[in-house]
Structure 1
Amino acid sequence: MSRSILAAVLLCSSGLLAPALAQSYVQVEALPNLREAEARARAYGSELRNVNGFRLSTGWYALALGPFANEAQARARLLELRRAGIIPRDSYVSDTRPYGQQFWPVGGAVTAPAPQPEPEAPAVVEAPAPTPAPEIDETPRQARASEGLLSRDQRKELQTAMQWFGFYKAAIDGSFGRGTRGSMAQWQEANGYPATGILTTRQRGELLDSYQGALAELGLGVVDEEQAGIEITMPIGLVEFDRYEYPFVQYSERDGSGIEALLISQPGDADTLFGLYEIMQTLEIVPLEGERSKGRRSFTLTGQNDEIHSYTYARTEGGYVKGFTLVYPPARADEMARVIEIMQDTLVINEGTLTPDLSDEAAQGVDLLSGLDVRQPKQARSGFYVDGRGRVLTTADAVESCGRVTLDDSIEATVTATGDGLALLEPTTSLVPLNYARLAASIGRLRSPVAVAGYSYEGQLQAPTLTYGTLQDIKGLGGEQELKRLELASLPGDVGGPVLDMTGAVSGMLADHDAQGRALPGGVKFALKASVLATFLSENGVVAAASEGGPRLAPEDLAVLGTDMTVLVSCWD
């Protein structure tokens, strides 16, 4: 054994030349959830070979490069990568203590390397290499000179990148004025550079690389949908084509992204556009909360609830109505706001549209629109106007435990009074009905004909129907004086509708009377008398109009009168 080897053995055995066992890492990022952390680990892994991911005690997920034999090696690598712009400027050297379970690379160690015991004697270690002086990229004068070589499109691209990260709010015009300079300074400060307001060549490269990386994560790409006549940039990395179902090209979520999209394509003009505006608001993918706006030839719809957000934009151009809907989780609202801007800015309307396929009868239904769920009320009943202000009378049961109430599906209403089995509704917007009830002065003659106007099929038909019957008794089966008994083949949707005599006077309201568990013959129905309606209205500030009588109306005239005064009352969650 040589003398030098023997000396080394003796020194090691005595602890005077113990090897440095502590390991170090370069921590580059910490992410709040595993999904984002894995995505970033893949991104770093395309450039670097020693990427690790560990769970932190705080619940976040750290990405770290290493391990390195000692802190000096880790710090040298940190400076090298930071100068090259490969890792963030706030990256730092860390030991293993903060790191818990390892999640990256897949199949890696279960936990981070355990801390080594302290050596019994001080280890002989080499002095750390001196920190190299930071490399100078360009002076502001040199940066401005290199900036002068940029084309207008390259300048626009820089503005677009700063806009994406929230630093730039003005128009993308390629002009580097005071606003652009201020945005550049903000970006420099946020990324650890001196805030000169003039990006160096390296900084411009870093900004654009970050921007392209963000776009790559979303998978933004151009879709040329020839069948629909639409060209648009959309997040094709997050959605995948599902099917055509007029007037939509439907894209479902990809790999659990939670993102869905529709491309809208149909022939039409402004009337078609605004018809679509109303229809879209009935879909479950357009929640009720959110801003709505209509222009002369376009509209936007936003919808928000605890589960989904959505944005719809459509416009009419060249005899077509085209646009898109983007549906996404609330947690992704910030990044989707930028995607929406891109989709709206890049929407190109080309020749041709989708055409309806009338052969697929199985997919059609009142609760579906092109395969999409239509928002449905809990129940729908009838009511009728009682004055020229558009106030409506219906049964109390029709509006019990409702999150909101609508008249004819689209008019919001509030319940202003209830009692005696009745409810008074008032529209939240100004409303002038075509006609309203005139209450009959008399109870009516037994066996005389009556008619009930109501939405028998709970809104499936666009207008009320008239159901004929007879007055069988002027009290209920139990002697109830507020009721009268009818012989009538009505349906549940008719409840709350006006009972008309043949002159058109309202002699009562069809009621859903509780028969106390008894199964009555199908044609036995009950109505609250006109006197009960008049008392309730008077107590709640409505002066009911009285019928002046008159001749018997023709069936078609009676139907028009019933249609004009009867309204669909819908109860929603």
Structure 2
Amino acid sequence: MFRAAGICVAVLIACLSPAAAQDAAFLQIEAHPTLRVAEERAQQYEVQQGNVVGFRLPSGWYALALGPFDGIDDANVVRQRLRAEGRIPSDAFATDTTGYRTQFWPVGADILTELRAQRTASDGLLTPPDLTTDTLPALPEVALDPAATSTQEAFPAPLAEPEPEPEPEPQETLPEARRSESLLSRDERAALQIALQWFDFYNAGIDAAFGPGTRNSMAEYQADRGFEATGVLTTRQRLQLIREYSDELAALGMELWRDETAGIEVQLPMAMVQFDRYEAPFAHFSERDDSGVRALLISQTGTQATLFGLYEIMQTLEIVPVNGARERQTNSFVLTGQNDTLRSHTFAQFRDGQIKGYTLIWTPERDEQMERVLAMVGDSFATFGGAMPDAAGQASAVVRRDLMSGLEVRRPEHSVSGFYIDAVGTVVTSLAGIEGCGRVTIDEAYTAQIVMRDAALGIAALRPLEPLVPMAFAQFLDTPPQIADEVAVAGFSFEDMLTRPVLTFGTLQDVIGLNGEQNLRRLSLEVMPGDSGGPVFDRRGAVVGMLLPRTDDTARVLPDDVNFAIAADDIRTALMQSDIDASAYRGGGAMTPAMLTRTAADMTVMVSCWN
């Protein structure tokens, strides 16, 4: 897109304005999004032909130009000669100084200030007349009103002569508009398309060709602004469109931010945000002047697993509302969130051992503006160098805690455990753990729906809204386990405080409940509330049951090490009656504790309740 190709839209204002020809002019030859590249090109031009100047543009890009010249006509003469010699790009154009900001080349120069001083001197404004009493004309006597109570009443103002009404500006006819349009350069035509696209009148590619799509968008713009919808913009309408676009860019303050610590270069709305602090892996930008807009740059070393962990933990932050699209790919992810008071958009990618990205946060009234800002941020996002060191600011790891790098974490009402039972990510968990929940998630990242409830057994089956591919899923033991065998429960004992399940070892005390219940298995081990819903393994890694929550009451309190699991064969039967496949144990030898820990970690998930 030409938005990323360095078109100087603000300079186009001067190009479209006939008054600009009277001022000093430059021959703009190139524009670049980064200062480093612009300086390198300026050095090359300086060696080749000299007379090179560089200015920062309102868009945040960096323009290279030759000059100054006495006017647009002189600049165009030079342009024709240098183009004929092949010494400048074919799309170079003459312009005045209207769109140029701070000079960056040559270093320390300020030619714009010199030109303004020269122009003022030529107008005779630097040598004011000698205003002595001898040169001042005599003032007419004014009779004072002795009853006046104020200076204004004592010295009544003379009646001002009415200013003559300006003559109406002549309007271009349609043929005249077509002729003036035909004189536009390619960059000027592309800039008009960009401005029309910015205001949602044009949604096709930026090709600088005024086809039916561009004509329709011009007609829509004309109608929206109260002009005759001819589909051909007059000179004044073109100037108004570009000025509207430039004014909005100025209001956003889009500037190219190059962060050497994070190794990220990106356009940010610096009129709305300001750099605040580093707290690895984030660079924080706070809102400016109560704009309601904030930003983060994300930068850390890591692996694909780190990226996926970041994907999960970002969804627990208050700045990422629960409603919104989530998309995780092999080496990147996008998170969007929205609620009544907040919006956010996060992008991160994994490349060459580094994870880098950004987050924009804003309030709903900024939706239209931020849709445009997001496009510019995404187009300009680039990475370089290394990642942010852990020691940058207040370093912190990606863990489930009350705070993550200065960001408030949104926590679920409670979390229990569950486990995968098939290759598409179906999960079995405790029914009591998800009853009354407005939203249920798997590992805090994947929203799930309840596809089966069995109140008699106290189990439920969940299915993620997007298919998952678990590393392992349960194999249910279809024969009674042996009493006194060693068993282990996998679960999130500390709920959302840890990212991996805990394995608790114990023994199978009986294959029936205390009251003779055939579908219960009595265990001797101490567990925590977050473990309920977790799988109970035997030494071979077969699932012998699902841990039930404790049901102590004030009249009867069981010892801490007495807990119960619902039997594996009953779980499997209930699932299959609901047309949910569940695999039987296929045999195998005893696992070492390390192997069992790995299997349990691949199979066990955290099931969270949100309200």
Q: Which TM bucket (shorter chain)?
A: 0.5 to 0.7
SS at match of 1:515: coil
Q: Distance in 1 between matches of 2:451 and 2:605?
A: 17
8 Å CA contact 1:441–1:546 kept in 2: the answer is no
Residue of structure 2 equivalent to 1:55? none
The match for 1:190 among 206, 216, 224 is: 224
Alpha-carbon distance between aligned partners in 2 of 1:318 and 1:529, rounded to the nearest angstrom: 47
1:510 pairs, out of 547, 552, 565, with 547
2:11 counterpart residue number: none
- The amino acid that maps onto 1:371 is G
The 8 Å contact of residues 317 and 349 in structure 1, kept in 2 or not, is answered as no
Task: Tell whether 2:360 aligns with 1:332.
Answer: no
1:220 maps to 2:254: yes
Cα displacement (A) at 1:454 = 2.5
Specify which of 546, 570, 578 is matched with residue 540 of structure 1: 578
Partner of residue 233, structure 1: 267
Counterpart secondary structure, 1:169: coil
Q: How many residues align?
A: 445
Contact 1:389/1:433 (8 A) holds in 2: no
Q: Find the residue that maps to 2:193 and give its secondary structure.
A: helix
Supply the distance in 1 between the matched residues of 2:247 and 2:226 (Cα, whole angstroms).
20
> 1:305-344, CA deviations, whole angstroms, 9 ceiling, x for partnerless residues?
3332222344567876544321112232112111112222
Matched, 1:457 2:494: yes
Cα separation, partners in 2 of 1:439 and 1:333, compared to 1, 3 Å: same
Taking structure 1 as reference, are residues 146 and 271 closer, same or farther at Cα in structure 2, changes over 3 Å only? farther
Aligned to 2:561: 523
Letter in 1 for 2:536: V
Structure 2 match to 1:442 = 480
The 3 A distance-change label for structure 1 pair 261 and 547 is closer
What do the CA deviations read for 1:4-27 (whole angstroms, capped 9, x no partner)? xxxxxxxxxxxxxxxxxxxxxxxx
Q: Give the superposition deviation at 1:380.
A: 2.2
Give me the whole-angstrom Cα distance separating, in 2, the residues matched to 1:542 and 1:298. Answer: 32
- SS, match of residue 495 in structure 2: coil
| RMSD across aligned positions (CA) | 4.0
Residues 542 and 157 (structure 1 numbering): CA distance in 2 closer, same or farther, change over 3 Å? closer
Q: Are residues 373 and 194 of structure 1, via their aligned partners in 2, closer, same or farther at CA, if it must alter by over 3 Å? A: same
Amino acid at match of 1:221: E
Measure how far apart 1:562 and its partner are. Answer: 4.3
3-state SS of the aligned residue for 1:213? helix
Deviations 1:471-528 (A, max 9, x none): 4456555666654543312222221223344455544332223222244433232333
Equivalent residues of 2:470, 2:603 under 8 A apart: no
Q: Is the 8 A contact 2:315 2:444 kept in 1?
A: no
Q: Which moved more, 1:303-312 or 1:327-336?
A: 303-312
Q: CA, structure 1 residues 147+500, in 2 after alignment: closer, same or farther (shift >3 Å)?
A: closer
Q: Which of 412, 435, 441 is the matching residue for 1:406? A: 441
Is the Cα–Cα contact under 8 Å of residues 387 and 437 in structure 1 kept in the other structure?
A: no
CA-to-partner distance for each residue in 1:85-128, whole Å, 9 max, x for gaps?
Answer: xxxxxxxxxxxxxxxxxxxxxxxxxxxxxxxxxxxxxxxxxxxx
1:284 maps to 2:321: no
Where does residue 488 of structure 1 map in the other structure? 525
Q: Does structure 2 retain, via aligned residues, the 8 Å contact 1:385–1:437?
A: no
The one-letter amino acid paired with 1:376 is R
Q: For 1:268-279, what aligned pairs fall within 5 Å after superposition?
A: 277=311
* CA deviation after TM superposition for structure 1 residue 236, in Å: 1.5
Shift of 1:379: 2.3
Alpha-carbon separation, structure 2, partners of 1:256 and 1:327: 13
Distance in structure 1 (CA, Å) of the matches to 2:359 and 2:389: 19
Q: Aligned partners of 1:519 and 1:528: how far apart in 2?
A: 20
Shift in CA distance, 522/538, structure 1 to aligned 2, threshold 3 Å? same
**Identical aligned pairs, as a percentage?**
48
Contact kept, 8 Å, 2:487 with 2:537, in 1: the verdict is yes
Report the equivalent of 1:78.
none
1:17-32 maps to which residues of 2 (within 5 A)? none
CA distance in 2, matches of 1:274, 1:490: 29
Distance change (3 Å), C-alpha of 1:542 and 1:250: closer
Segment drifting more, 409-418 vs 559-568: 559-568
Structure 1 residue 223 displacement after superposition:
2.9
1:269 and 1:511 mapped to 2: Cα distance? 36
1:367-390 CA deviation, whole Å, 9 max, x = no partner?
343322344333222233456665
Query: In structure 1, what is the Cα distance between the partners aligned to 2:305 and 2:475?
Result: 33
Q: Which residue number corresponds to residue 342 of structure 1? A: 376
CA distance in 2, matches of 1:484, 1:270: 40
Q: If the length of structure 1 is used for normalisation, what is the TM-score?
A: 0.65
- For residues 311-330 of structure 1, the aligned pairs below 5 Å read 311-314=345-348, 321-330=355-364
Shift in CA distance, 351/480, structure 1 to aligned 2, threshold 3 Å:
closer
Q: What is the Cα deviation at residue 397 of structure 1?
A: 0.9
- Report deviation, 1:352: 4.6
- Aligned partner of 1:468 in structure 2 is 505
Deviations 1:281-326 (A, max 9, x none): 4443233443455678765443333332222344567876544321
CA distance in 1, matches of 2:420, 2:252: 53
Contact 1:413 1:426 (C-alpha < 8 Å) held by counterparts: yes
Given the superposition, is the C-alpha separation of residues 149 and 314 from structure 1 closer, same or farther in structure 2, using an over 3 Å criterion? farther
Q: Is the 8 A contact 1:439 1:545 kept in 2?
A: no
User: Could you say which residue in structure 1 is the equivalent of 2:452?
Assistant: 417
Task: Kindly provide the amino acid, as one letter, of the partner of residue 523 in structure 2.
Answer: L
Q: Show the counterpart of 2:610.
A: 572
> 2:419 — aligned with what?
384
Aligned residues of 1:486 and 1:525 also touching (Cα < 8 A): yes
**8 Å CA contact 1:437, 1:565 repeated in 2:** no
**CA–CA distance in structure 2, aligned partners of residues 457 and 212 of structure 1:** 54
CA drift of 1:364 comes to 7.6
* Range with greater deviation from structure 2 (323-332 or 560-569): 560-569
**Counterpart Cα distance in 1 of 2:606 and 2:437:** 15
Q: Match for 2:222: what amino acid?
A: Q
- Alpha-carbon distance in 2 for matches of 1:299, 1:565: 23
State the match for 1:394 in structure 2.
429
Structure 1: runs of 5 or more not aligned: 1-128
